[in-house]
Amino acid sequence: MEGVSVRNLADRFGTPLYVYSEAAILSQIRRFEAAFSGLPHLFCYALKANPSGRLCRLISSRGLGADIVSGGEMERALRSGFPASRIIFSGVGKTESELKWAVRRRLLFINVESEEELRRLEGVAKRLNKTADISVRVNPDIDPRTHRHITTGLAVNKFGVPPAAARDLFRRAAKRKHLRPVAIQCHLGSQIREVKPYLSALRQLLSLARSLAADGIPLRWLDIGGGMGVAEGEKGELNPETLAAAIASEMGANPLRLILEPGRALVAGSGALLMKVLYRKASAGDGLLRGPRDSALGPGSASGAWGAPGTRLRRGRGGPRFVIVDAGMNDFARPSLYDAQHPIVPAVLPRGGPKFRADVVGPICETGDFVAKDRLLPWPAPGDVWALLMAGAYGFSMSSQYNSRPRAAEVLVSGQEAVLIRRRETLKDLFALER
């Protein structure tokens, strides 16, 4: 990673370990900025993808804004240098105190997601004698063709309000002294690989914005959310250049400023989760583990890229093979939650040698605890370091102490340097809050 050996990082900081490349994050920011340079725009980084203070400071220092979904994220965003004037607040369930903090701090806008929330927000603003800048989140009922658990813009999802109801909320808000509609927003889901859903949503938002302008409610911002897909398994990424070109031609000469809320796309590729091989095991037990040339292991020399997912090889005799590693679903939940297929590679790639097919599983007492399934891998030895790639987003941020496992440490790599940005939790940390 950059100028640093990840094998050495694993030795120095222990495993499981999250490592991030600063250069990779910066280059992804530059790429998005360049792609959208022809359009007046603001990127609001969705903090939930990776809220590490060190990474957030890096991102805020490049002039980006932040998209937050809780009071905790508001605190993180402000502490890591995002100015309130570049922070937007999303989410269906903001509490009264979260709304109060948001109004006091004068965020860029608060995304209203229901009629009742609008009423509560008005009450809060009135009591503080302030005016809250708002947006209404539209649910455009568009299928972004992604995993059902990460779809948010379908009518059956809990997010936003239908376009007709949104228009109604805007009109009502415009009449209120303590509310000021400034933006219209939607967010379709995550891991979207096609431009089409964005364009369908954009058309709806533009037409709504036009009819609002005709009603005497001119808006300043048009926010089409995040969700730009990154490579996973055999699926490729959504190309920001293609997205930008399509949006530009749809926007035409519209004076609205564009907001995008990328989370994953900015940080996923920068991160890897390092883990160590603990044990090898064949489900049929017995003496199958003498080595890859053991005939009982079946075809040990399949072709394909190291760690390639989705390969359909015949299993050899002896049933499934497992590589048991020291990272589990508490450290990285995406495979268990979303069937995510992240590439996994040995930190030190062997020169040639046989490959075999195995499931890479963690130590958690759940059958759903796996890191990678059905992968072509080199025959490992206990102690080998492996790296799960594309792990910079929704990795550490979704990790937990399940099975009373202290959370992993995080390291930021920059050139030849590696800095510990969050220490590994200790056994003491497990008990710190108990009374």
Ligand X SMILES: *Cc1c(COP(=O)(O)O)cnc(C)c1O
Which residues contribute to the site for ligand X (CB under 6 A)?
A: 46, 48-49, 67, 69, 90, 187, 190, 225-228, 261-265
> Look-up: residue for tokens 């969705």?
46
| Residue whose C-alpha is closest to residue 272's, from 190, 369, 385 | 385
CB 66 within 8 A of CB 76: no
Q: Specify the residue, 136 or 265, whose C-beta has the smaller distance to ligand X.
A: 265
CB of 197 to ligand X, least distance (A): 13
> What number of helices (H) and strands (E) belong to the chain?
12, 17
CB of 394 to ligand X, least distance (A): 7
Q: Specify the residue, 54 or 334, whose C-beta has the smaller distance to ligand X.
A: 334
Q: Specify the residue, 49 or 347, whose C-beta has the smaller distance to ligand X.
A: 49
Helix H or strand E segment including 42:
strand 41-46
In order, the DSSP letters of 171-182 are: HHHHT-TTEEEE
CB 83 within 8 A of CB 74: no
CB of 260 to ligand X, least distance (A): 9
CB of 266 to ligand X, least distance (A): 8
CB 39 within 8 A of CB 258: yes
What span, in angstroms and rounded, lies between the C-alpha atoms of 343 and 356? 15
* Position with the least CB separation from ligand X: 263
Catalytic: 365? Answer: yes
What span, in angstroms and rounded, lies between the C-alpha atoms of 327 and 336? 13
Q: Is 152 in a helix, a strand, or coil?
A: coil
Q: Which residues of 138-153 are buried (b: 16+ CB within 10 A; e: fewer)?
A: bbbbbebebeeebbbb
CB of 227 to ligand X, least distance (A): 4
CB of 226 to ligand X, least distance (A): 3
**C-alpha dist (Å) from residue 271 to 17, 18, 42, 57, 396:** 10, 7, 24, 16, 10
Catalytic residue chosen out of the listed positions 44, 56, 186, 365: 365
**Token duo for residue 411:** 């390291």
Q: Specify the residue, 150 or 308, whose C-beta has the smaller distance to ligand X.
A: 150
What span, in angstroms and rounded, lies between the C-alpha atoms of 265 and 201? 19
List the catalytic residues. 365
